Amino acid sequence: MVQRPQPTRPATAVSAPLLAALTAGALLAGPVLLAAPAAAAPEPSSVDHHAVVLVNFRNKALTDAAKTRADAVRNFFGTGSTSLASYYARNSGGRMSVVPAKGDGVFGPFTIDMDDSAACDSGKMNELARKAIPGVPFDHISVVFHSDFCSAWWGLGSVSGPNSWFHEGAVDDGAAIIHEIGHNLGFQHQERQVCPAGTFTTACTADEYSHRTPMGGGGEKKGLSAPELLSLQWLTAQQTTTPTASTSVHLTPLHAPGTGGTRAIDLPLGTGGDRVVVEYRTPDPGTPDADVPQGVAVYRVTKGNYKDAVMISNTAQREKAANNSLDADGPALTDDAAHLSVSVVGTSGTGADIRIRLGADAAPKTTAPVAAKPATTAAKPTGTAESARSGAAPGPLSAEYPDHQAADPSSNAPAPTAPTAATTDGRGLAQTGGGGSALPLTLGAVAALLVGAALFLVNRRGTGRRARR
């Protein structure tokens, strides 16, 4: 586990627009599916023309522009397995391509009309970076800078938007880049919850993050989770099954080579549009899952919003454990109200046999939840927040990584100080490890670009040490 470095100065809470957009889920009655799951058809191929703009402030330049340029070229567009381009090409099955907007894709450094004390004004920085490359068409833009301010975050990304920002050292951090562009694709932080026996939805408590994806603190050596792949239709209908009666399903490892086999189970949960997704993961250095825990994960998808799925279990995470949702021959996960039961019959390096029981067959065979370990920082929320850096990695990430506060951009009132725990419908945001002051995030002339997008903050880490993930 990566230990959280101490910041060189108090972190500053930064306000940001918050978007809560939920897609409509499938309707269902009992165990009979009335609407298709997310994998109805593959998404067409897409090309992201990406521009990385290096900027100097009037009073502070990049510490090493040549190195930063080389790092950006390599980690955004390089051929290494954990570059942005390679990561999303592999996870999408070749459906998504990240290419330089022009030339090698990295521009500058340009000196912009700002001091580094204004670095938290990410909107103005974005506006000036765009003006610096007037002849470059692009789909997404990443701005790279060096500042002693805005130490509360390491990288910043607009959710379902075209913009991202990185402190200089973060472009040498593949996980941070992958994480922030994941926010651009609409992904929220993937959390983990402990649910009481017999329910997937009621009285579930926060249990850090899933550690199954870069969006859940997993770093760049873990592929996207099944709900994330389903959200972009990067799993086909042939790779996904939705049983309508009790049955056993053989799951091929989610990121196994090739396209054959069932990779995910996608089930209705009750009649309100919620769903349950089951996946099986195995570590394989030849796949995006080079360093993933082996085992079965079960996710709750609220109102069909696959980009904001939550991993669930009846047991809390433990140190040096796989922390799967459930294990072979162990108690089933059940939701008595939905008449749904999921259990693991057996696993191997090539697959897992999952037993799905529906309706009257879903007899509750549950176990009492294990109490979560005492928190060493402020309680983790079940809401959205931004990635943290684990030595050089992003996160939201584990007990050590604080979340951050978002504010409604329509309000002109000063941003409130961050609470110490989630308070509202499990969706509040908590902040730890920072100073007590809060600064409103000024969007400047790019406000229109960020309307409807939530900005999420990454906890800045020291640049001298990379994390092992």
In a domain, 376, yes or no: no
Shared domain check, 205 and 67: no
In a domain, 422, yes or no: yes
Q: What is the dihedral angle through the alpha carbons of 65, 67, 72, 75, rounded to the nearest 10 degrees?
A: -170
Shared domain check, 353 and 227: yes
Please calculate the CA angle 305-208-143 and round it to the nearest 5 degrees.
Answer: 70
* CB contact at 8 A, 364 and 334: yes
β-bridge pairing 274-281 and 295-301: antiparallel
> Which structure tokens are listed for 287?
């796949």
Shared domain check, 199 and 260: yes
Shared domain check, 215 and 304: yes
Task: Please report the pLDDT score of residue 225 as a whole number.
Answer: 99
Q: Give strand pairing partners of 298.
A: 278, 312
Backbone angles phi, psi at 304, to 5 degrees: 75, 10
State the chain's maximal CA–CA distance in angstroms. Answer: 70
> Which structure tokens are listed for 232?
């972009």
In a domain, 469, yes or no: no
The count of C-alpha atoms lying within 13 angstroms of the C-alpha of 206, restricted to the half-sphere facing its C-beta, is: 30
Of the three residues 296, 326, 361, the one that is the final residue of a domain is 361
Of the three residues 327, 361, 395, the one that is the final residue of a domain is 361
Question: Tokens 């196994």 label which residue?
Answer: 256
Shared domain check, 332 and 433: no
- One-letter amino acid of 71: D
Task: Please report the pLDDT score of residue 403 as a whole number.
Answer: 33
Q: How far apart are CA 222 and CA 283, in angstroms?
A: 9
Shared domain check, 212 and 346: yes
Question: b/e per residue, 195-224, with b = 16+ CB within 10 A?
Answer: bebebbbeebbbbbbbbbbbbbbbbbbbbb
Q: How far apart are CA 454 and CA 411, in angstroms?
A: 14
Backbone angles phi, psi at 176, to 5 degrees: -65, -45
Sign of the CA dihedral 359, 361, 366, 372?
negative
> Which structure tokens are listed for 140?
């997404």
In a domain, 374, yes or no: no
* pLDDT tens per residue across span 230-257: 999 999 999 999 999 999 999 999 999 9
Shared domain check, 295 and 205: yes
Task: Please report the pLDDT score of residue 38 as a whole number.
Answer: 61
In a domain, 367, yes or no: no
In a domain, 4, yes or no: no
Question: b/e per residue, 241-252, with b = 16+ CB within 10 A?
Answer: bbbeeeeebebb
Domain assignment of residue 91, given as a range: 11-21+44-188+383-457
In a domain, 202, yes or no: yes
Q: How far apart are CA 288 and CA 221, in angstroms?
A: 6
Task: Please report the pLDDT score of residue 37 as a whole number.
Answer: 57
- Residue among 405, 437, 440, 433 nearest 419 (CA): 405
Shared domain check, 344 and 196: yes
Shared domain check, 290 and 181: no
Shared domain check, 353 and 307: yes
CATH number, domain of 119, equals 3.40.390
Q: Specify the pTM.
A: 0.75
List per-block mean pLDDT (blocks of 10 residues) for the chain, which spans 469 residues. Answer: 29 30 30 44 80 98 98 98 98 98 99 97 98 98 97 95 98 98 98 98 97 98 99 97 98 98 98 97 98 98 98 96 93 97 97 96 56 38 32 31 29 28 25 25 35 38 34
Shared domain check, 279 and 167: no
Task: Please report the pLDDT score of residue 361 as a whole number.
Answer: 84
Enumerate helices (H) and strands (E) in the chain, giving the number of each.
Answer: 6, 22
Q: Give me the helix-helix angle, 174-184 and 84-91, nearest 10°.
A: 60
Indicate the SS3 state at residue 249: strand
Of the three residues 313, 331, 361, the one that is the final residue of a domain is 361
* CB contact at 8 A, 429 and 31: no
Q: How far is CA 256 from CA 90, 253, 284, 296, 350, in A?
A: 11, 5, 8, 14, 8
Shared domain check, 424 and 357: no
* CB contact at 8 A, 165 and 146: no
In a domain, 389, yes or no: yes
* CB contact at 8 A, 231 and 213: no
Total domains present in the chain? 2
Task: Please report the pLDDT score of residue 468 as a whole number.
Answer: 32
- One-letter amino acid of 357: R
Task: Please report the pLDDT score of residue 444 as a whole number.
Answer: 36
